[in-house]
Amino acid sequence: MTTDKWELYGQTFASRLLIGSALYPSPAVMNAAIEDSGAEIVTVSLRRQSPQQGGGSQFWQFLKELNKTLLPNTAGCHSAKEAITLAEMSRELFETDWLKLEVVGDDYNLQPDPYGTVEAAEALIKRGFKVFPYCIDDLVVCQRLRDVGCEVIMPWGSPIGTGRGLMNPYALQTLRQRLPEVALIVDAGIGKPSHAVQALELGYDGVLLNTAVAQADNPQLMAEAFRDAVRCGRNAYLAGAMPERQTASPSTPTLGTPFWHQQ
Amino acid sequence: MISIRVNNEPRQCDPNLSLECLLAFWGFESTQIAVAVNESFVPRSRYSDCHLENGDRVEVLAPVQGG
């Protein structure tokens, strides 16, 4: 097994799986699944709460027990202004300048708004945030995000929660080739471990997923499957896949083939 | 008394009370919430000198699960 590590904004990690904390059947299953996934980075969020709900203190307790690096998101924000305000609130509450930036452009497929995302990323980086932008797989959008200072970019595989995998491997491959200096993470749309393998085989540095584990019949077992999938894909990438060929080529030596006769 | 909204719920409050007093009165524990007024972030250090005005919209957010 390889022991390669990777860096995100100066912090080193061994696991290439980032995992969400939502949609699990129970907090106990969430903790167990996240633990079994091997993920070191967990996404969280902020929402309106009434004092009667304990102000989020119970969830806060679960997060502390997990002892993972937290990546707060700005899910549900529809403008750069909203995302910037929510980012400031997250930084204070979670005591981290890491931020998964989400600016929704379309409520139907939750497609990120590229204009709002770039605008917010630039403003947040100037305010000292370490921005992980969730974005579409468009090369120019990702170049703009890099230009404003994003060291990590997270294009979607397919829309959030669809589990449809990598809709456009060509676009993702183009990003990998053209942005070699950026840590690229496929975020959203990963439904099966094979999707994660494919992303890592393409040279992606990691994957971020939530629903695929949380909504599996057995979240803990699926978490293990994804833990192994990212290792598998990464090792395959490092090992270097053979080139595809148009025609068959025997793998067993042809010299000494039995029953062979010159016609 | 002034009329404000807290997490989109209508409330009346005394404009002489600071945000710090109001949050405590409403039952929020300040270490586990983050606050914005009229979509602008209010750092915890400013709760004591922040006073609300009629029509203000207060967001009081807490940690939740996220993807």
Query: Could you read off the pLDDT of A143-198 as tens digits, one per residue?
Result: 999 999 999 999 999 999 999 999 999 999 999 999 999 999 999 999 999 999 99
So what's the pLDDT on residue B24?
Answer: 92
Which residue on chain B is closest to A81 by alpha carbon?
B39
Q: Is B26 touching A (CB cutoff 8 A)?
A: yes
Q: Answer yes or no: do B67 and A160 touch at CB < 8 A.
A: yes
Query: Could you read off the pLDDT of A149-159 as tens digits, one per residue?
Result: 999 999 999 99
pLDDT higher than 90, residue A22: yes
Q: What is the DSSP string of chain A?
A: -----EEETTEEES--EEEE--S-SSHHHHHHHHHHHT-SEEEEEEEE--GGGGGGHHHHHHHHHHT-EEEEB-TT--SHHHHHHHHHHHHHHH---EEEE--EEETTTTEE-HHHHHHHHHHHHHTT-EEEEEE-S-HHHHHHHHHTT-SEEEE-SSSTT-----S-HHHHHHHHHH-TTSEEEEES---SHHHHHHHHHTT-SEEEESHHHHTSSSHHHHHHHHHHHHHHHHHHHHH-PPPP-SS---SS--TT-TT----
So what's the pLDDT on residue B57?
Answer: 97
Portion 195-234 of A in contact with B at CB < 8 A: 210-211
Neighbours of A75 (CB within 10 A): 23
Query: Could you read off the pLDDT of A229-262 as tens digits, one per residue?
Result: 999 999 999 999 999 999 999 999 989 889 988 8
Mean pLDDT of A21-48: 95
So what's the pLDDT on residue A58?
Answer: 79
**Closest CA of chain B from A252, distance in Å:** 48
Q: How confident is the model at residue A61 (pLDDT cuts 50, 70, 90)?
A: confident
What is the pTM assigned to this prediction? 0.93
CA torsion A201-A206-A208-A213 (nearest 10°) is 60
- Tokens for A260, please give them: 């062979």
Mean pLDDT of A217-239: 98
Mean pLDDT of B57-62: 95
Model ipTM value: 0.95
So what's the pLDDT on residue A262?
Answer: 81
For testing contact with chain B, the best of A31, A37, A48, A73 (most B CBs within 10 A) = A48
Portion 44-63 of B in contact with A at CB < 8 A: 44, 59-63
Q: What is the DSSP letter of B22?
A: H
**Closest CA of chain A from B31, distance in Å:** 8
Q: Is A94 touching B (CB cutoff 8 A)?
A: yes
Averaged pLDDT score across all residues of chain A? 95
So what's the pLDDT on residue A55?
Answer: 56
So what's the pLDDT on residue A62?
Answer: 84
Query: Could you read off the pLDDT of A73-82 as tens digits, one per residue?
Result: 999 999 999 9
**Closest CA of chain B from A112, distance in Å:** 14
A68, A100, A130, A192: the catalytic one is A100
pLDDT higher than 70, residue A1: no
Choose among A45, A57, A73: nearest Cβ to B29: A57
Cα A130 versus chain centre, distance? 16
Q: Answer yes or no: do B62 and A44 touch at CB < 8 A.
A: no
Q: Poorest-confidence range of A43-57, A104-118, B36-50?
A: A43-57
pLDDT higher than 60, residue B43: yes
Q: How confident is the model at residue A56 (pLDDT cuts 50, 70, 90)?
A: low
Q: Is B67 touching A (CB cutoff 8 A)?
A: yes
So what's the pLDDT on residue A52?
Answer: 73
Query: Could you read off the pLDDT of A91-147 as tens digits, one per residue?
Result: 999 999 999 999 999 999 999 999 999 999 999 999 999 999 999 999 999 999 999
Cα–Cα distance, B40 to B31 (Å, whole number): 19
